[in-house]
């Protein structure tokens, strides 16, 4: 679902991504673990097509982001780290706006919004403006929005920032269901080790390079530590 | 380190409730044109809705030119000095002369304010949402431009109605009106494109005051909105005359003025359309992920 080859991005003398290679298949929950400044947000902005890296290639669902961005982006859902809801629009209008940007017919959009709102417990919020919602509810709306066009790849850029523990757990559980039931491939960027422990696969990114890649226990073993957190802390302190 | 598997390209995501990649293509069935028009309508609709929610914007958009018309024009009633300037056949009251300029002022403020809206959207993360839609980026920017121009036109028409209600003489020939509407829309697009281009370079909302001082006021005061070119030349203000002659806002105003009186606007349409194309092209370049937009996004871990 995602193939990254030789991705390199420099900001002056600082290297944010250093020849990154990566491939994600369908139906996997992958945690991208890295400390602040590891290159996670840069990677996500490149994957979202917001800017092109200095070197390297990105393919989403087999479509080159550089040469067929429209087709590549059609398969991509994103929840950005910073909230990105129009605070003055109602939830329903925000969701419909997203469907329009993705060219979904009105009847299909209406059915998906209704079904998604029911699944997320957001029916009562559809008529409310985003500024009236709590942070956790806004996140749910953003996640529902990112899934409305049925993307094969979902990028989640530190989506639990500012959420209470219960909302964090709910979000992770929901995405696990989405992976299992719909075969969505999730790339979840975080610097919180406990969020990565339940992932199918963990990538440890540090200074623009992948330090480890594998199942959580394999990563712990490869980096050397009694727990994943210890292993991560030790590896990123070096 | 990473698993590398060759993958076949998937069609665009399905419309129904199927799993990703298992159904036919949205674009195959509905076509890219229908998708693009749907997105255009959505972007325009969203901007109109936002405008409707900000009633103070409409009030301030009308109060500013109405004050100029009611106060400034009254104070400078004889400013045109009894001279006959094209496209008028006879000396006209100053209020009649500055009406197209005030229409231009409404569009200038709204067009440039669109850059504020773009910067706000960028700071709120809404721009990312727009620019990650599966449509050509130039089209998404064009949709924003059309939304800005339609709002400018609506505000300009509201102002003309108020001006007529205040007793300002306005020609009523239908064909001339159609031409003037076309000219106003083109001018609004041009001013919106200047706003779009500015939004590439304005990094923060706080910088908007600088835009007001260094872009809006020079564009407005160094134009024919307030006084005819001939008057500038006659008074010996040669450098102002040169700048005003080159100012694209002058030509947006003159196109409307000449169209309203059924006269040939000369080169003004070409200057307006050329400026529109140049500013929009540069804005698209600025928002190109391979060139400019990287500088606009927050970079970090």
A18, containing H or E segment: strand A14-24
Question: How high is the pLDDT of residue B82?
Answer: 59
- Take residue A135 and report the two structure tokens written for it: 């942070």
Q: Tell me whether residues A71 and B299 touch, CB distance under 8 A.
A: no
- Pick from A33-37, B212-216, B290-294: least confident: B290-294
Q: Out of A16, A21, A74, whose CB is closest to B2?
A: A21
- Which ipTM score applies to this complex? 0.86
Using pLDDT thresholds of 50, 70 and 90, give the confidence band for residue B184: very high
Give yes or no for residue B1 having a pLDDT over 50: no
The fraction of chain B above a pLDDT of 90, given in percent, is 38
3-state SS, residue A77? strand
Question: How high is the pLDDT of residue B290?
Answer: 66
Residue spans per domain, chain A: 2-75+151-237, 82-150
Q: What mean pLDDT, rounded, does chain A reach?
A: 87
B55-67 vs B94-123: helix crossing angle, rounded to 10 = 150
Q: Tell me whether residues A152 and B16 touch, CB distance under 8 A.
A: no
3-state SS, residue A150? coil
d(CA A90, CA A93): 5
Per-residue pLDDT tens for A34-80?
888 888 888 998 998 888 888 999 999 999 998 888 899 999 999 98
CATH number of A2-75+151-237: 3.40.50.300
- Pick from A121-135, A219-233, B211-225: least confident: A219-233
Question: How high is the pLDDT of residue B32?
Answer: 85
Q: Out of A34, A84, A88, whose CB is closest to B50?
A: A88
Give yes or no for residue B17 having a pLDDT over 60: no
Using pLDDT thresholds of 50, 70 and 90, give the confidence band for residue B25: very low
Question: How high is the pLDDT of residue A105?
Answer: 92
Question: Does residue B79 contact residue B178 with C-beta atoms inside 8 Å?
Answer: no
Q: Out of B18, B34, B134, whose CB is closest to A73?
A: B134
A89 DSSP 8-state letter: S
Question: How high is the pLDDT of residue A76?
Answer: 93
Give yes or no for residue A8 having a pLDDT over 80: yes
d(CA B249, CA B255): 10
pTM of the predicted protein model = 0.85
Give yes or no for residue B48 having a pLDDT over 60: yes
Residues of chain A in contact with residue B15, where contact means CB-CB under 8 angstroms, are 104-105, 108
Question: How high is the pLDDT of residue B3?
Answer: 41
For chain B, helix, strand, coil in percent to 5 are 70, 0, 30
Per-residue pLDDT tens for A88-127?
889 999 999 999 999 999 999 999 999 989 888 889 999 9
Q: Tell me whether residues A82 and B125 touch, CB distance under 8 A.
A: yes
């Amino acid at each position: 679902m995602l193939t990254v080859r030789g991705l390199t991005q420099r900001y002056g003398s600082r290297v944010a991504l250093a020849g990154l290679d990566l491939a994600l298949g369908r139906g996997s929950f992958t945690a991208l673990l890295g400390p602040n400044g590891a290159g996670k947000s840069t990677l996500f902005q490149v994957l979202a097509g917001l800017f092109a890296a200095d070197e390297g290639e990105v393919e989403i669902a087999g479509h080159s982001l550089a040469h067929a961005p429209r087709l590549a982006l059609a398969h991509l859902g994103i929840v950005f780290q910073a909230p990105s809801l129009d605070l003055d629009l109602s939830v329903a209008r925000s969701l419909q706006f997203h469907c329009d940007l993705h060219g979904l017919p009105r009847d299909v959009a209406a059915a998906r919004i209704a079904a998604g709102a029911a699944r997320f417990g957001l029916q009562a919020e559809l008529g409310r403006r985003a500024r009236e919602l709590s942070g956790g509810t806004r996140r749910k709306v953003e996640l529902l929005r990112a899934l409305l066009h049925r993307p094969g790849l979902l990028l989640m850029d530190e989506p639990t920032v500012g959420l209470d523990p219960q909302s964090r757990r709910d979000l992770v559980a929901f995405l696990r269901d989405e992976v299992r039931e719909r075969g969505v491939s999730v790339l979840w960027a975080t610097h919180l080790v406990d969020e990565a422990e339940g992932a199918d696969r963990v990538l440890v990114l540090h200074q623009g390079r992948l330090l480890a890649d594998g199942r959580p226990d394999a990563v712990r073993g490869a980096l050397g530590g009694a727990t994943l957190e210890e292993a991560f802390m030790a590896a990123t302190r070096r | 380190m990473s698993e590398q598997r060759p993958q076949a390209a998937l069609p665009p995501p399905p419309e129904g409730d199927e799993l990703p990649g298992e159904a036919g293509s949205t674009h195959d069935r509905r076509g890219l044109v229908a998708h693009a028009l749907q997105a255009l309508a959505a972007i325009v609709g969203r901007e109109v809705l936002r405008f409707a929610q900000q009633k103070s914007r409409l009030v301030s958009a009308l109060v500013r030119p109405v004050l100029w018309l009611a106060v400034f024009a009254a104070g400078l009633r004889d400013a045109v000095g009894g001279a006959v300037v094209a496209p008028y056949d006879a000396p006209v009251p100053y209020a009649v002369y500055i009406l197209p300029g005030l229409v231009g002022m409404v569009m200038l403020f709204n067009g440039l304010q669109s850059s504020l809206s773009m910067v706000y959207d960028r700071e709120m993360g809404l721009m990312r949402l727009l620019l990650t839609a599966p449509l050509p980026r130039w089209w998404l920017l064009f949709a924003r431009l059309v939304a800005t121009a339609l709002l400018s036109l609506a505000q300009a028409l509201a102002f003309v109605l108020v001006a007529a209600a205040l007793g300002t003489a306005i020609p009523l020939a239908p064909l001339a009106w159609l031409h003037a509407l076309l000219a106003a829309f083109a001018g609004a697009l041009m001013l919106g494109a200047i706003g779009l281009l500015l939004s590439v370079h304005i990094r923060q909302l706080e910088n908007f005051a600088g835009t007001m001082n260094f872009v809006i006021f020079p564009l407005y005061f160094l134009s024919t909105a307030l006084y005819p070119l001939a008057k500038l030349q006659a008074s010996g203000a040669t450098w102002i005359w040169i700048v005003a002659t080159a100012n694209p806002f002058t030509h947006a105003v003159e196109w409307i003025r000449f169209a309203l009186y059924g006269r040939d606007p000369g080169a003004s349409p070409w200057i307006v359309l050329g400026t529109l194309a140049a500013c929009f092209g540069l804005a698209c370049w600025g928002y190109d992920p391979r060139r400019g937009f990287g500088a606009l996004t927050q970079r970090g871990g």
